[in-house]
Amino acid sequence: MAASSLANGQDALEEKLGRLSKKPGVKASIVLDRATGAI
């Protein structure tokens, strides 16, 4: 069950970032923790 919620979270994040990246003037950085996978 946790794996599916993780996948859904990743899909939602990817969708949101994709929409934001298409807007003019939007800049962002994402930092990932390799040990925990936290964003």
The confidence band for 3, taking pLDDT boundaries of 50, 70 and 90, is low
pLDDT over threshold 60, residue 4: no
Contact 7, 33 (CB under 8 A): no
Q: Which residues have CB under 8 Å from 33's CB, separation 6+? A: 39
* Residue-number span of the structural domain to which 39 is assigned: 1-39
Instruction: Report the number of distinct structural domains present in the chain.
Output: 1
In angstroms, the CA 36 to CA 6 distance is 13
pLDDT over threshold 80, residue 28: no
Identify residue 7 by its one-letter amino acid code: A
Q: 22 or 7: whose pLDDT is higher?
A: 22
The string of DSSP codes covering 1-39 is -HHHHHHHHHHHHHHHHHHHHTSTT--------TTT---
Please indicate, yes or no, whether the overall pTM of this predicted structure exceeds 0.85.
Answer: no
